[in-house]
Amino acid sequence: MRDELQYAGEFDLLECKLHTVKSGIVDLLKEVLEIDIYEDVLKGGLTGTVVIVDTHSLITALPMTGEEGLSIKVKTPGFNDERSSLNFTGERMFVINAITMRAELSQGSQVYALSFVSQELLIANRITISKSYTDNISAIVEDILSSEQYIGTKKELFIEPTQGIRKVVIPNSYPYAVINKLANESYSAKSDSPHYVFYEDADGFHFRTLQDLYNQPSLGTFHYGENFKNNLTSTDFEPKQETIIDLKRILVYELHNNNDMFQNARSGMLASTNISHDIYSKKYTKKEYNYFDEFETYKRISNTSNPKYSENINLSAYSKGRTFVNPISTTDGNDANYSGSYTPNRKDELFFSDRQSRMFEMLKGTSLTCTVPGNTAMRVGKTLNIDLPVIGIDHDNKRKDEYLSGNFIVQKIRHQFSMAVKQHYIHMELTKDCVETTI
């Protein structure tokens, strides 16, 4: 095994072992055909598949029942930081949850695909929580994830502190459903933002706001075509310059500029009405959310961000397209069920509508799917810059599409390791909540 990157997409599969119930540990290094590992910034677990070519009838002899452990470790040569590898061994190993495909390849051999998930995801779907908390939401999330009574993860937690103390009653609910519900009610102690997301990547679990993700250092500029010879950024390895360039070469891409006015109206992304019914004081408040008025309230992915719509739109005509009704209990502007360092009850403001708008914009807004040569340091939740060429006539002679290029956040990743060609590809879904130029 060389510790130098020879070509973009090279990888070393250091471990792939099946931990069986009956027959102990089985090394699969010589039987693996392909491994796919999935990360999603809106999902609290890792998933994947491993394709096996079997000439020893292991699936019957072991036997494989769909409850085995799977340890995998993959590393990009030259990436020497331990966090830059995909290390799912020991307490971090996956769990096989299904045999999704099985077929005869030739006489005496067969091929099958094993579907696997992170252990925590399996645990989260087989237990429920019945408990009351009086605590900070970030502390509640940490307790659910780390307590042996619930998820009991040993992985690293990246939890952004939330505001105040809340009384939360959890009635026989699945852990991840509880965490996602708490994400809807959380406000950052750092940025005041309500845009929390909960997900797992290869490093651990994240309960953070979009603004906290946007503040991370960028992964650099990725290019399609040949217009990127000067894009050399520092790394922790020293291969040839051409290899560094190739790591940021977009091999294929597809744009999804989903400005669907029907969806935007019905979802409340552009405008909505927020009704808060105070069950404590027997009153209600009614406020209208406006996309343009709130556009710069919280940090966007780019410092030169602009709305992707013209401000000539009469958004008051869209405010009845979606109405949100929130039950609250308030006394003197604070939560009536507070204790100690209480938190203000802010559901009578526009935080909820703003969160719904931003999350819908991330799911259904301007997005890009692309494939690049792989490296095992890539993670979801990171930001990067995309330079896309002008297609057709370049009227301004700028070579770059300034409207669609710019900063994106990595929303989904599929790491694809192909043993047949010894190539690692990363298939990414990128999204942005603004454009670089004014309309």
Q: Is residue 193 part of a domain?
A: yes
Q: What is the 3-state secondary structure (H, E, C) of 124-172?
A: HCCCCEEEEEEECHHHHHHHHHHCCCCCCCCCEEEECCECCEEEEEEEE
Same domain for 29 and 105?
yes
Q: Is residue 4 part of a domain?
A: no
Same domain for 354 and 267?
yes
**Confidence (pLDDT) at 204:** 96
Its domain, for residue 142, covers: 128-211
Distance CA 306, CA 320 (A): 25
The β-bridge partners of 371 are 252, 427
Q: Is residue 7 part of a domain?
A: no
What amino acid is encoded at 55 in this protein? T
Q: Is residue 439 part of a domain?
A: no
CATH of residue 26's domain is: 2.40.10.10
State how far the alpha carbon of 420 is from the alpha carbons of 29, 95, 152, in Å: 13, 25, 38
**Confidence (pLDDT) at 265:** 82
Strand pairing class (25-27; 330-331): unpaired
pTM of the full structure: 0.89
Q: Is residue 311 part of a domain?
A: yes
What total of structural domains would you count in the chain?
Answer: 4
Q: Is residue 26 part of a domain?
A: yes
Q: Is residue 436 part of a domain?
A: no
SS3 content of the chain, % helix, strand, coil (to 5): 15, 40, 45
Same domain for 231 and 197?
no
What amino acid is encoded at 246 in this protein? D
Same domain for 112 and 39?
yes
Q: pLDDT by residue (tens digit) across 265-291? A: 888 888 999 888 888 888 888 888 989
Boundary of a domain, candidates 74, 102, 122: 122
Same domain for 328 and 183?
no
**Confidence (pLDDT) at 349:** 77
Same domain for 44 and 110?
yes
Same domain for 411 and 313?
no
Same domain for 356 and 285?
yes
Residue 126 CA neighbour count, 13 Å, CB half: 8
CATH of residue 175's domain is: 3.55.50
Boundary of a domain, candidates 86, 106, 122: 122
Q: Is residue 333 part of a domain?
A: yes
Rg of the chain taking only CA atoms, in angstroms: 24
Each of the 439 residues of the chain gets a pLDDT tens digit; together they read 567 888 889 999 999 999 987 778 889 998 899 999 999 999 999 999 999 998 877 777 777 777 789 999 999 998 888 788 999 999 999 999 988 887 877 777 888 899 999 999 999 999 999 999 988 899 999 999 999 999 999 999 999 999 888 888 999 999 999 999 999 989 999 999 999 999 999 999 999 999 999 999 999 889 886 544 444 444 443 445 566 678 888 999 988 866 778 888 888 888 999 888 888 888 888 888 989 888 888 999 988 888 888 888 888 888 888 888 888 887 776 777 665 556 666 776 788 888 888 888 888 778 889 999 999 999 999 999 988 877 755 555 566 677 778 899 999 999 999 999 999 999 999 999 888 777 7
Boundary of a domain, candidates 330, 360, 390: 360
CATH of residue 414's domain is: 2.40.30
Same domain for 227 and 241?
yes
**Of 403, 405, 409, 410, residue with least CA distance to 427:** 410
Distance CA 263, CA 15 (A): 46
Q: pLDDT by residue (tens digit) across 191-205? A: 999 999 999 999 999
Q: Where are the alpha helices (DSSP H) in 258-308?
A: 261-267
Burial of residue 91 (number of CB atoms within 10 Å: 0-12, 13-18, 19+)? exposed
Same domain for 193 and 338?
no
Same domain for 203 and 142?
yes
Same domain for 166 and 101?
no
CA 436 to chain centre: 23
Q: What is the chain's length?
A: 439
Distance CA 287, CA 289 (A): 7
